[in-house]
Structure formats: structure tokens, C-alpha cells
Chain A
Amino acid sequence: MNCEEVRARLSEFYDGELPVDRAAEISEHVNSCDVCAVELKSFGQIGGLLRQQRDLSTAPGNWAKIVERLDEQTGRFRPWRFPRAWYRLLPLMVASLIAAVAIGYWAASRTSPDQAERIAAAHVHETLTRFPQKPHAVVDELSAQYRGALVSLDAARELLGYEPVVAKLPSAGYRVASTHVLKMPCCKCPASLCVREDGSEFLIFEHNEEQPMWFGESPAISAKCGGQVCHCVQMPDQLAVTWKVGTRYVTAIGVNDLEEIASLMAVVNHSDAAG
């Protein structure tokens, strides 16, 4: 073996990791080569130095600190065990559970109007976040949830007692693809799917009260547009806007940008639309 080959295997030789025959070859070389012998000796000296290093003593109280931190996390990490004595109480616990479910069901069926509105708002928020990806599915889902009726604009006027603002949109180049009248907790609410010239869609609602809960925790700003206050909401992948028209509120979902908000508001507010 030459020096280069030996040097490549010197640690394995020193650490006793080589097969006997290979170790014997290296041993023979080292005994006859001063350079490799010096290198092997230095490995031994370095090992001795490293093993003599002062011991690290762990700071007292470390275990106490670890226990403290483990206790903080116990709720999340320690598996919960059912105490053995509780098995005797199992029939009573099952009966209590059934009673609790029954009471819960009864309570839910007597949900107050406020609660019903909050639950509905949370549901609307969750549904609307999916509008950019699946506009038709969102309209169908809202219609199914709120006993919606697919109607013409004339029929909507009759059902609602006023003309929906979307009747004005064709004059600005938009098309109304469908209108559903939804029976929402707040009111009868028209939801119209509108189509831009490029085929993309947005949704317009009219309702009696502002519905900030429809937008959850999404960032929102209040702005003035053409002298009219509007609330713009940044939802995932889309903008939404709400503004007051007469005695009602109009909400548009799936708006492209601020320019489009200004354009929609200008069209809808052009004359006295709401009664």
C-alpha cells in the first residue's frame, strides 16, 4: 500500500473498523513509513486531548425547568387515561350523555333569532370565500341552504316588492345570468349572478341590514366613492364591497378591483333605485 491509500483509511485503522487483513497491510506500511507513523501518533494524541476535556456539569434546576415546561404542554401531549374506577359509572355516564345530546338538540331547535343570524352569517362567510373558484356552486349552495327560488327579474320584483338593483347593470355592459330570492334570517334577499364582458362573474346581494359577519376577520376599509361611503373587504383572491342604496344595502362579491367598485356604484346609484 502507498501513503495515499493508507492516509485514506487511517481513521478506520486507528478506530479498529477495518477487517483484519486490511488492518495488517496498513500496520505493515506504518511500521516502515515515518510520515504515516507521525500522522497515526497525532490521531492518538488528539483523541487523548478530546477525552480529557473537562466534564460539563448540568446546571442544577434543569430538570425542574423541563418539568415546568412539560406541565405547560401536558394538555396537548400526555395521552389521557380513563380512570379504572370510572368503569363502574359507565352506564350512568352513557345515560347522561344521551340526555345531554337530547337537551342539546332541543336547545338547538329553540335557537334564538340572533343566534340563527350569527350562525347563518358564519355559513355565508365560509361559502363566499369559495366564490372565485366555483361561482355557480356557491350560488347553488346558498340557494339550497336558504330555500332559494330561481326567478326572473320581473318575478323577483313581485316577490320582493322592489326592483333589484341588478336590473340597471345591462346598461353598463354586464349581463344578469340568474337571480335567486333567498329566505335568509335577516330578510328575503335577492342574489344575482352577473357576468362581465370577458365572461367572468360576480355576485350581487340586496339586504335590509349590513352584514359585517359575512366577511369574518377579513381586512376591511371604509372609503368614499362619488360621495357615497362604502366598505371594501379583501377576501382571499377577491374583493367585496357593501354600500347603502336607499333603505337597503347592496353587497358585491368577486369584484376585480377598486375601479370596478367605483363603476358598479356609479351604475347602481345613478338614479333612485331602491324604494
Chain B
Amino acid sequence: MSLEDSLIRLAVTGDREAQRLVYESLKDSIGRLVSRIIDDSDVDDVTQDIFLRVFCSLGEFRFESKFTTWVYRLAVNDALQHLRRKRRRPLVPLENLEMPGRTQQNDIENNEVLHLALSKLDPELRVILHLKEEQDECYATIAEILRIPEGTVGSRLNRARRELKKELLALGWGD
């Protein structure tokens, strides 16, 4: 049995120290994953909810897949659900937000441009870009996390990259 398996089995029994170690090992990656799907202001709350659900559902983990894959799947599911609930509330149209003009381009950090461009993408496209580009997951794992056929991963990534490029260019990226 691996160290990770032992830790998880201990966490299932309610051992707080084991749970804390699991949390410490995953908090940054889950936090980043959630922040790619939902609005910044809700990231902490949703991340907390996800960990609460992880610890309450640990007994259901069957050790048949990687533990991180199982947690990511829960996280993606919960974050997308949060987004759907939130969408029922009125949102300020993105067009009404103050947009950076092309002349101000040089003053804007790449991060901000990227953030704005990503916000225009479907959450499903943001998630798949994050899993590939930032978490460096292989297609088989991405398919397992997102519950999609492995053959769909490539075509969805094509779409995500092309749409992101289009949005970035519209914001003056690369000028």
C-alpha cells in the first residue's frame, strides 16, 4: 500500500492530521482549478465546500483511480454546479465592464488580459485548458475527470485554444 493510500485510509476514519495533510497537498491545485471555473470572490467558499465534501465522501473512494483524479472530478462537478446556480442570478453583462482600450494595452498585465479572455469562454473550455496546460494531465485522466470520451478531449482542446486565441486577439494581445 502506498503512503498516499495509507494517508487516505487514515483520513477516512476521521483522523484530523491525515485530513490536514490531504488538504495541504491538494489545496493549491484545487484552488487554482476552482478559480478557473468561477468568479474570484467565491473561490474560497467553493474550495471549502469541495474539501468538506471530499472528507465526507472519502469512504466512497474505491482506490480504482488516482486519488487526485477522484478529487478533481468532485471539484469540477461542484464548481460547475455553483456556476449554474449563480447564473440564475442576474449578472452584469461583460460588455458593460470597463474594457481596456488598445492604446492602454502596454499598461495591462498579461494576467489581466488572460483573465478577461478566459472569462468569455465556456466553463467547460476553461477547465480543460487548466487541466492540460497547468496541471499537465494526460488525455486519459482528463477524460476520466470530465466524464467524456477520450477521443473528445483533443477536439475540445482545439476549440478551447482557438476560442481563447480569438478572445485574446480581440483584447489586443500580441500587438
Q: Interface 1/0s, chain B 23-54, versus A by CB < 8 A?
A: 11001100110010000000110011001100
Contact with B along A30-59 (1 / 0, CB 8 A): 000000000000110111011111111111
Known A8-B155, A15-B139, A52-B110; judge A65-B130 contact (CB<8 A).
no
Whether B14 and A17, one on each chain, are in contact in the complex, defined by CB atoms closer than 8 angstroms, is: no
Task: Considering the complex, give the chain A residue whose CB is closest to the CB of B43.
Answer: A56
Nearest A residue to B162 via CB reads A39
Residue contact A56 to B48, C-beta cutoff 8 Å: no
A69 to B161, CA, bound (A): 39
Which of B23, B43, B110 lies in contact with A49, CB distance below 8 A?
B110
A73-81, A83-91, A147-155, A248-256 - the one binding chain B: A73-81
Interface of A is mostly: helix
A101 vs chain B, min Cβ distance (A):
31
Contacts of A9 in B (CB 8 A): 154
Q: For chains A and B in complex, what number of residue pairs have CB atoms within 8 angstroms?
A: 94
Within the complex, the shortest CB–CB distance from A75 to chain B, in Å, comes to 11
Q: Distance in Å from the Cβ of A56 to the closest Cβ of chain B?
A: 5
Q: Are A12 and B20 in contact (CB under 8 A)?
A: no
| A66 interfacial by beta-carbon distance below 8 Å | yes
**Once the chains are docked, how many angstroms separate the CA of A58 from the CA of B23?**
11
Chain A residue with Cβ nearest B52: A69
Give the residues in chain A near B16, CB-CB below 8 Å. Answer: 67, 70
* Chain B neighbourhood of A52, CB < 8 A: 110-111
Selected from A7, A59, A62, A63, the residue in CB contact (under 8 A) with B158 is A7
Subset of 29 A-B contacts with CB under 8 Å? A9-B154, A10-B158, A11-B154, A11-B157, A12-B139, A12-B154, A15-B132, A42-B161, A45-B174, A46-B133, A46-B164, A49-B110, A49-B114, A50-B114, A50-B133, A52-B111, A57-B28, A58-B28, A59-B44, A62-B27, A62-B44, A66-B23, A66-B48, A67-B16, A70-B55, A70-B56, A77-B55, A77-B56, A79-B13
